[in-house]
Chain A
Amino acid sequence: MTATTVNPKARRMGRTGRMLIALVVVALFLAYLSPVIWLVMSSFKNRVDIFTTSPTVFFKPTLDNYTVAFQDKGFGANLQNSVIIAVISSAVALLVGIPAAYRLSRHGSRFQGAFLLALLSARLLPAMVLSVPLFVLANKVGLSGTYLAVVAAHLTFAIPFTVWMMRGFFLAVPTSLDEAARLDGCSETAAFFRVVLPLTKGGIAATAIFLLINSWNEFLFALILTSRDTATLPVGIPNLLTPIGTFWGQIAAVATVTVVPICIFAFAVQKYMVAGLTGGALANE
């Protein structure tokens, strides 16, 4: 909102008043984000600094947790699995979802309402409900523990998400534009590729990033459908909570590596956050 709507009291405050507000806001957010800060700090601590009854704020940083986790304990492979599964499932979802979303945004058909409703119900479907049949089916056809099984499971939420998101972006492109292209002799496909697609590049990028984040963060499907060789990062981390002791330093290191890429990605699509978090149900603004 613009400055005109800021209440008069705030306007009356001087420079010191505003500084004070800024300080309070920063302090509140530091406290609010302290669990994250603490996790990242702990990933650079040695055992002695982690296992203390009063928190250690100053310590000599070490990279030991990272080297042990990623070199000796094989979390490099988990990282690789996470990347493979996220990239493949996002790519397939875009390939299938974008044309479907375009159709839905252009052709008002009788089935459109029903189709959108079905997509919405698919979004409401708890992962737990699909996990049982997917597990049994994957075992029956011998796909259990393969990338394909997890990718298919991730598509159950990735495709509906893509269609909803992209439909919003396509609806924002006036139909008159593709009609003009059609009049100039473009086929429907050509009109889509030459006119509509370039206009929705930003939206596609945002959708792709949300797809990557969603697949990357997913836990239940990956837990029941992967084997030791195909386990993603979220599935691998709880293995460090063992009955003989919990390797908190290494957990913190792997967790940090898990969340850093998605944080970078998320800030790139901050503008589309509300749309992304509501799966495109709210306007893409």
Chain B
Amino acid sequence: MLGLVVLFPLAYSIKLSFQSYSPIIPNHTGQWVGMDNYQRILHDGDFHHSLIVTAIFVVVAVSLETVLGVVVGIAIDRLRRMRRFATSALLLPMILTPLVVGLMFNFALNAQFGYLTWVFNTLHVAGGDGVLNGSVGALVALIFIDVWEWFPFVALMVVAGLQTIPKEPLEAASIDGASTRQVYWHITLPLLRPILGIAILFRATEAIREFDKVFVLTGGGPGSATAVNDLYQYRVSFLNWDLSYGAALGLVTFAAVLALSFLMYRSLRRKETAR
């Protein structure tokens, strides 16, 4: 069953990537073109641009999510009565339909009547013509939204991780006169490293395929300022209908994601065994 629904399309995609196929472009009826599509990738400036945008997005967003997640996770762990409320509230953004998250912020950041635009104007922190209309602003907004949506994931993992780590070293350290901050920095954080590694691995592999929010927030614009990899592939495959080239782009991306997660997983394992 899995073979049928996953492997067969994947194999078909590999076949497609060596052909030239498009439902609308003339003379692209599925001729074999060898490595042409792959060679095209090497010289595709728009694709390279999308890789840079994706790299910025993934690295900045996931880093911020990790830092914020650790801080909030530790803060929640210290709460008592508000703890349940806090964890419930943090769950909400993650399970919301990603498309709705994008729309919601598109609405909130609308240049004329968005309430966040009003807040920014009142505080004089952003220009009056709407953050989404500038290329830097749009990318910053996209990163901000991803952090809004996903730092709770890291926070929840931290809360779960804090429950499993042994209490003795913490108590021993505070008896020896370590300050709370020292205990967190020197003992808690290193103990959390394995679970943080998993959280980062998950976030990174998911952020690399960001599509829904960008699609509805900026459509990749202004221009190509927020055209992350998946959005660029969507433009190639479903706006230009260059499906065989889209297939090649997708396979290259998949290979890269696999290699990247393998490397991250390996370094995670090594750190764990080193301790």
Residues of A within 8 A of B (CB): 1, 3, 5-7, 9-10, 18, 21-22, 25-26, 29, 32-36, 38-39, 42, 50-55, 96, 118-119, 121-122, 124-137, 139, 152-153, 155-156, 159-160, 213, 216-217, 219-220, 224, 233-234, 237-238, 241, 248, 251-252, 255, 258-259, 262-263, 266-267, 270, 273-274, 277-278, 281-282, 285
Contact = CB atoms under 8 A, between A and B. Distances in A.
B238 A5 contact: no
Contacts of A121: 258
Given A255-B100, A266-B95, A282-B198, A129 B85 contact: no
Closest 8 CB pairs of A and B: A129-B250, A126-B209, A133-B9, A133-B13, A55-B115, A234-B99, A133-B12, A266-B95
Given A127-B209, A219-B99, A258-B100, A136 B88 contact: no
A56 B156 CA distance: 34
Nearest to B248: A132
Interface stretch (B59-67, B73-81, B267-275): B73-81
Interface of B: 1-2, 5-6, 9-10, 12-13, 16, 21, 23, 77-82, 85-89, 91-100, 103-105, 107-108, 110, 112-113, 115-116, 118, 148, 153, 156-157, 160, 162-163, 167, 170, 180, 198, 202, 205, 208-209, 211-212, 215-216, 230, 233-234, 237-238, 243, 246-247, 250-251, 253-254, 257-258, 261
A29 B2 contact: no
Given A34-B115, A126-B254, A251-B103, 8 more contacts: A25-B79, A53-B113, A124-B261, A132-B246, A213-B95, A217-B95, A237-B99, A270-B91
A277 B94 contact: yes
B3 to A, nearest CB: 9
Contact of A259 (B5, B86, B97, B233): B97
Given A6-B80, A25-B79, A259-B97, A129 B115 contact: no
A119 B2 contact: yes
B2 A128 contact: no
B5 A152 contact: yes
24 contacts: A1-B77, A5-B170, A25-B79, A33-B93, A35-B104, A42-B107, A51-B113, A53-B118, A124-B257, A125-B254, A126-B230, A129-B10, A133-B16, A134-B9, A136-B16, A152-B5, A156-B6, A233-B97, A234-B97, A234-B100, A237-B100, A263-B96, A266-B92, A267-B91
